[in-house]
Amino acid sequence: MTGRPTLAVVGATGAVGTVLLGILSQRADVWGEIRLFASPRSAGRKLTVRGEETEVVALTEDARAAGVFDGVDIALFDVPDEVAARWVPVAAAAGAVVVDNSGAFRADPDVPLVVPEVNAHAVRRRPRSVVASPHCTTLTMIVALGALHAEFGLRELVVSSYQAVSDAGQEGVRALRRQLSLVAGTELGTGPGDVRRAVGDDTGPFAEPVALNVVPWAGALCDEGWSSEEMALREETRRILGLPRLPVAVTCVRVPVVTTHSLTVHARFEDEVTVDRAREILATAPGVVLCDDPASGEFPTPADAVGTDPAWVGRVRRALDDPTALELFVCGDNLRKGAALNLAQIAELVAAGPE
Amino acid sequence: MTGRPTLAVVGATGAVGTVLLGILSQRADVWGEIRLFASPRSAGRKLTVRGEETEVVALTEDARAAGVFDGVDIALFDVPDEVAARWVPVAAAAGAVVVDNSGAFRADPDVPLVVPEVNAHAVRRRPRSVVASPHCTTLTMIVALGALHAEFGLRELVVSSYQAVSDAGQEGVRALRRQLSLVAGTELGTGPGDVRRAVGDDTGPFAEPVALNVVPWAGALCDEGWSSEEMALREETRRILGLPRLPVAVTCVRVPVVTTHSLTVHARFEDEVTVDRAREILATAPGVVLCDDPASGEFPTPADAVGTDPAWVGRVRRALDDPTALELFVCGDNLRKGAALNLAQIAELVAAGPE
């Protein structure tokens, strides 16, 4: 790349795209031209990035033929898996390095899966000119976990998630708001079936009502009763940490929170751990905020972490029955570090070279 | 006891007391007189039990002196710990067997901690004439876990909770409803601090806002950063299952659900497990409903389990990296089996004798 690189944002009008344009406007500006793309439905809309109004271009065969990807150095994709599978190779073939947030390439051994604080080096080997960003649930914990792994050597993980609705996009947020307006101000929530009756079939992108409820399901059904998001957290954690046989047990659960995922983490290490040393590591790790003083009512919650960049970590305890295990509670904004921010950070890494 | 035993309900006007009167009205009626007690604030109120209006008597020194506990065979207590510590011995001294739902006696080696489906035998040895009922979080999982332990031999537990607000009583329910009415219909939940600003200091009995949030704290602060509810789940599980050295790691988290606790459970056993055999056990265990067909969208949620008696169990999977471990998701109504129903079941066990 000579001069300032040209950036494309594909999926600019979605929940993640919206946050991404804000992040690109706030961070140190290393970009030349920024081009915005979305589905034909959103074409022609004008969005503001870095204070400039920019027209959204439809991602179509005609547009491709007209050369809309020509000269793009780096393309950030946040689109559904099937759209990514179709269009990421198109952008790569046109000469861009693609940083993709879909699930389409995360398991591809020729596509590095990158979290800059943990495995920045991996971004350099990208034979398909594609770099993948992990799923938001993995990103909630992986920065803190990577720092602890570097010191203690991770040996086993048991994780439960408390996932916000916005990882199902704006449709997920609208579903929760609609359901909340149906149940707020009522006496619902104590009788058999009353929430279900109030919400009706209007569960949006979720399997069950999420207002006044928690739903132990996220993603598609895989073998033996596992959900795709549970499998993804296991596989992605193994890839990012370079621990291909790490035992990982996960249960993913949706909760009525708009934005910011939370996770409980039971992490067993090779060596004996101390809470003091774990706190020191977390207090100084880039991208992590330690928020852990329960005597003063200090522990992370989504209401604290939302709209911020770092992973918030608290409730740091050593397991009472195992001196090699730590318990953590971690919160992270699923639209920021869980998606848009990690894309922007990877793009900056790529732009910084060396090629 | 000769004839039908006289029952006292102490704490009759609270969230659990209200559900308890309903349960006593629905179950096979083995009771003679039922006397209702509450704090002086509620004295004189009339409540309906078994279709009869009954006046609530104030729990005071004057009432005790007047002999209000005379002739009571069994007294069910659901009151704060300090009230139980004061009044449970009074009722026992007056000749009653007390079944107590507070934390005041759960760790006393001379007070059995009883879940009728799991350790009914323990109810017979009660040197202080007191039987304790476990905390609602323990009760959410213990019936299903006891059945699996009987077959496979439990060796280790990692648990995360999704706890409803009603285990903080009617005050907890009012706090959530008030907060929901402040945030419903707004765009809150995506900006830094916006939920906190909307809710203000009005967090009720909780450390943080619970609407559009999850709060990783329940109970009081114990040593080394553990909460009292986390310690209780560990100690109670060990006592009930008769496994005094069982490793148990727990994180308790409050969620914006009115009633019904949920838990993720990672349970490691002595022997290799199979999902088929685990499902058979759960499908036939008394007090358990197996709800586990994710291909048809079947898994338990609080919206399904609320207002019902059993523990709902689903998401039954064998750990991918450990053939001795099972993953479960369990939901149970914290006011029914988590409190009132277990009290009523213990009372029936005691009443059935033998003394």
Chain B residues with CB under 8 Å of A314 CB are 216
Q: How far apart are CA A16 and CA A338, in angstroms?
A: 9
The parts of chain A modelled with pLDDT lower than 50 are none
Q: How far apart are CA B127 and CA A138, in angstroms?
A: 52
Q: In what order do the strands lie in the sheet with A34-38?
A: A46-49, A52-58, A34-38, A7-10, A74-77, A97-100, A130-132
- Binning chain A into helix, strand and coil, the percentages to the nearest 5 are 40, 25, 40
Question: What confidence score (pLDDT) does residue A202 get?
Answer: 79
pLDDT digit string (tens) for B278-327?
A: 999 999 999 999 999 999 999 999 999 999 999 999 999 999 999 999 99
Query: Which of B177, B185, B329 minimises the CB distance to A181?
Result: B185
Chain B residues with CB under 8 Å of A303 CB are 193, 195-196, 208-209, 212-213
Banded model confidence at residue B191, pLDDT cuts 50, 70, 90? confident
Q: How far apart are CA B281 and CA A130, in angstroms?
A: 48
Distance of residue A311 Cα from the nearest chain B Cα, in angstroms: 14
Q: Which residue of B has its CA nearest to A314?
A: B216
Pairwise CB contact (< 8 Å): B189 & A257: yes
Closest by alpha carbon to B250, among B278, B219, B272? B219
**Class of the B7-134+339-352 domain?**
alpha beta
Residues of B with catalytic annotation?
A: 136, 261
Pairwise CB contact (< 8 Å): B300 & A216: yes
Q: How far apart are CA B13 and CA B16, in angstroms?
A: 8
Question: What confidence score (pLDDT) does residue A2 get?
Answer: 62
Q: How far is CA B5 from CA A135, A155, A276, B29, B123, in A?
A: 60, 57, 56, 11, 17
* Residue B48, H or E segment: strand B46-49
- Cβ B4 vs Cβ B31: under 8 Å: yes
Average pLDDT over residues B100-108: 96
**Inter-chain Cβ pairs, chain A and chain B, closer than 8 A:** 229
Q: How far apart are CA A209 and CA A12, in angstroms?
A: 29
Report the mean per-residue pLDDT for chain B. Answer: 95
Question: What confidence score (pLDDT) does residue B201 get?
Answer: 82
Pairwise CB contact (< 8 Å): B320 & A249: yes
Per domain, the residue ranges of chain B are 7-134+339-352, 138-171+199-333
Prior bond to A205 cis, omega within 30? no
Chain A residues with CB under 8 Å of B247 CB are 319-322
Chain B residues with CB under 8 Å of A166 CB are 190
Chain A residues with CB under 8 Å of B15 CB are none
B157, B214, B255, B260: best to mutate for the A interface, most A CBs within 10 A: B214
Report residue B241 as tokens.
């299952």
Closest by alpha carbon to A213, among B15, B165, B231? B165
Closest by alpha carbon to B219, among B135, B141, B332, B132? B135
Prior bond to B109 cis, omega within 30? no
Average pLDDT over residues B187-195: 80
Q: Which residue of B has its CA nearest to A309?
A: B192
Strand duo A154-162 + A261-269: pairing: antiparallel
Distance of residue A333 Cα from the nearest chain B Cα, in angstroms: 9
Chain A residues with CB under 8 Å of B314 CB are 216
This complex has an ipTM of 0.95
Question: What confidence score (pLDDT) does residue A306 get?
Answer: 96
Tell how far CA A140 is from the center of its chain. 7
**Class of the A138-171+200-334 domain?**
alpha beta
Of A136, A252, A291, A331, catalytic: A136
Backbone angles phi, psi at A16, to 5 degrees: -70, -40
Q: How far apart are CA B273 and CA B283, in angstroms?
A: 16
Query: Which of B213, B264, B316 minimises the CB distance to A257?
Result: B213
Q: How far is CA B25 from CA A27, A66, A82, A122, B306, in A?
A: 64, 76, 56, 66, 18
Pairwise CB contact (< 8 Å): A258 & B212: yes
Question: What confidence score (pLDDT) does residue A67 get?
Answer: 93
Average pLDDT over residues B194-219: 90
Pairwise CB contact (< 8 Å): A208 & B247: no
Pairwise CB contact (< 8 Å): A253 & B234: no
**Class of the B138-171+199-333 domain?**
alpha beta
Banded model confidence at residue B182, pLDDT cuts 50, 70, 90? confident
